[in-house]
Structure 1
Amino acid sequence: MTKTYNWATLGTGVIANELAQALESRGQKLYSVANRTYDKGLAFAEKYGIDKVYKKIDEVFEDENVDIIYISTPHNTHINYQRKALAAGKHVLCEKSITLNSEELAEAVALAEKHGVVLAEAMTIYHMPLYRKLHELVSSGKLGELKMIQMNFGSYKDYDMTNRFFSRDLAGGALLDIGVYALSFVRWFMSETPSQVSSQVRLAPTGVDEQVGILLSNDKGEMATIALTLHAKQPKRGMIAFDKGYIEIYDYPRGERAVITYTETGEQEVIEEGEMAFALAYEVADMEKAVTGDTSRVHLDYTRDVMQLMTQLRRDWGMTYPEEE
């Protein structure tokens, strides 16, 4: 008989709602809710028929019935909650970006290892079935050697410096919010992590990155370009070019469809796998698998590589958050 795990949500925003719906789609429901504002926690619990709401956030870490905590609060709060959850022996699935920097992530990883629990980042690219399918195809050698990856992600945000996207106090900026997807995509397809990184950045008046261009290459000569902006809508497009063809994926953070164009013939092949709507359900399934001992689908190694790149980029820019000063 399959064990049922008790999930708690820490946070009640958009992602927490998706988590509750994902569990419902699997015939499960959230065990409990922790939120900074108790009334919001109550309203969330009522919406999804959840029995337990904590009056104080820290009570979730003390609850012996909680197996897995999903953290979906702002980036800069993640490490403090991870410290408490992991030390209490709870498995943690944390919204991206998993921490602010590599040092925080190394601390969290060490804590997870010490207490024998799973720590994973809720990065949809690592969990959507399409990416596993494409990985198999690429590994077969059908497309030849990887040459170049091109990534776009652009959002048009109101130019309001009190908005969380531009707030230093809430760890805003393009890199941690949308760049993490592009870098995770690049890491998924590159055969080894980038060793050379260069970039250009335009900072907002608050001091966070609002527009970024990144060039990456690794020791195998595989290259990538990334264009990020919070100022203009761009297609969420990923393109992976090999010597025998190229793959295009639109809406790649939750990709469900890829088009392969073969170099020699111009012939196209469409691959469809998984559904965007089930993105959180795939994350839940992979996390529960990891808790049983099969961690092959949580890709903490890729999470670490991406965090190292983001940490290096921000250091190159001289851009820090208050928690790092």
Structure 2
Amino acid sequence: MRTLNWATLGCGVIANQLEQALESEGRKLYAVANRTHANGVAFAQKYGIGTVYDSIDDVFTDPNVDVIYISTPHNTHINFLRKALNAGKHVLCEKSITLNSEELNEAVALAAANNLVLAEAMTIYHMPLYKKLNEIISSGKLGTLKLIQMNFGSYKEYDMANRFFNRDLAGGAMLDIGVYALSFVRWFMSSTPDQILSQVKFAPTGVDEQAGILLTNREGQMATVTLSLHAKQPKRGLLSFDKGYVEIYDYPRGERATITYVEDGHTEVVEAGETAKALAYEVADMEAAIAGDRNVMHLDYTRDVMDMMTLIRRAQWGMTYPEEER
């Protein structure tokens, strides 16, 4: 298969990590598209990238572009997804891939109609650690999964103009960090949760600042999720089985887990992959999907997680974004 040309739409932190991931493989981004042209030029000069578009829409019509990585704010994703997929480009889109299930279903249909790969850049689905843990769990040595506990809390300055609290920029804990916790839950649960309860504390702007979520699936596996944008928590995942439990710190880009076995209390450390290579793993899986392996990007899990987030945010919290009210 020929080498694919990647373009970045957006040139923030993630775009820098994407370029660095490609450079680790002896490659470069083919092109840069950015709302502020000067920032795109500066990004291209920093890395020696040859193409910067005068108009952001030019990335969609460039016949040399194979894959577009979208890393703009959440509420801009669907418009860019429409343009990219209609133009025949594969898309890897930063989380959260869309605002809601309706937008995602539209994008999925467009990708299918044009025989394209669409995926969310959810690192949990691509880090070697999580794949290794699934192998251990599948072996049966830990027994049956009973409970998952998730913590994800960031301390953001209480500035209501900040994008994290800005309703006009699709702010809030759910779309920013909750998507990681729920993706972790979905990765390890045998099926998507069908019973969901939640509580929320809103910021003055009306977005979710803090939340607690309880989930159960048809197998009786349960999960608890605690989120906050204004109270620091460890990025911790705990998987409890009848024969042991697994602790993972520094998820979602985890590289180390500790298994404790109930019978005698002995522990086992599992290490796989490197945190610094998170984007490289995503790129590799995306290119494998484009080459024909449609089982590595887990769009089915992305849809399950989006359905959960949409249900919780709109049906249980009554929280909407301006784009959903038009």
| TM range, smaller chain | over 0.9
Which residue is 2:137 aligned to? 138
Compute the displacement of 1:21 (Å): 0.4
Compute the displacement of 1:167 (Å): 0.4
Instruction: Measure, in 1, the Cα distance between the counterparts of 2:47 and 2:112.
Output: 33
Which residue is 1:91 aligned to? 90
Q: Deviations over 1:194-246 (max 9, x none)?
A: 00000000000100000000000001100000000011110000000000000
Q: Deviations over 1:273-317 (max 9, x none)?
A: 000000000000000001101021100000000000000001110
Instruction: Measure, in 2, the Cα distance between the counterparts of 1:78 and 1:26.
Output: 28
Alignment of 1:225-304 (within 5 A): 225-304=224-303
Residue identity in the other structure for 1:74: P
Which residue is 2:320 aligned to? 320
Q: Deviations over 1:101-157 (max 9, x none)?
A: 000000000000001100000000000000000011111111100100000000000
Instruction: Measure, in 1, the Cα distance between the counterparts of 2:141 and 2:7.
Output: 43
Which residue is 1:196 aligned to? 195
Which residue is 1:68 aligned to? 67
Instruction: Measure, in 2, the Cα distance between the counterparts of 1:291 and 1:219.
Output: 33
Which residue is 2:156 aligned to? 157
SS in 2 for 1:164: coil
Which residue is 1:7 aligned to? 6
SS in 2 for 1:252: coil
Residue identity in the other structure for 1:151: M
Instruction: Measure, in 2, the Cα distance between the counterparts of 1:79 and 1:196.
Output: 28
Residue identity in the other structure for 1:108: A
SS in 2 for 1:149: strand
Q: Deviations over 1:232-270 (max 9, x none)?
A: 110000000000000000011101000000011100000
Residue identity in the other structure for 2:224: T
Instruction: Measure, in 2, the Cα distance between the counterparts of 1:142 and 1:47.
Output: 49
SS in 1 for 2:69: strand
Which residue is 1:126 aligned to? 125
Instruction: Measure, in 2, the Cα distance between the counterparts of 1:263 and 1:190.
Output: 21
Residue identity in the other structure for 1:281: A
Instruction: Measure, in 1, the Cα distance between the counterparts of 2:280 and 2:221.
Output: 33
Compute the displacement of 1:8 (Å): 0.1
Instruction: Measure, in 1, the Cα distance between the counterparts of 2:30 and 2:109.
Output: 27
Residue identity in the other structure for 2:321: Y
Instruction: Measure, in 1, the Cα distance between the counterparts of 2:242 and 2:299.
Output: 30
Instruction: Measure, in 1, the Cα distance between the counterparts of 2:48 and 2:305.
Output: 37
> Does 2:180 correspond to 1:181?
yes
Dislocated runs of 4+, deviation >4 Å: none
Instruction: Measure, in 1, the Cα distance between the counterparts of 2:20 and 2:295.
Output: 25
Which residue is 2:109 aligned to? 110
Instruction: Measure, in 2, the Cα distance between the counterparts of 1:189 and 1:140.
Output: 14
Instruction: Measure, in 1, the Cα distance between the counterparts of 2:236 and 2:82.
Output: 35
Instruction: Measure, in 2, the Cα distance between the counterparts of 1:246 and 1:160.
Output: 39
Residue identity in the other structure for 1:145: T
Alignment of 1:12-91 (within 5 A): 12-91=11-90
SS in 1 for 2:141: coil
SS in 2 for 1:241: strand
Compute the displacement of 1:71 (Å): 0.2
Q: Deviations over 1:148-170 (max 9, x none)?
A: 00000000000000000000000
Instruction: Measure, in 2, the Cα distance between the counterparts of 1:224 and 1:261.
Output: 19
TM-score where L is the length of structure 1: 0.99
SS in 1 for 2:232: strand
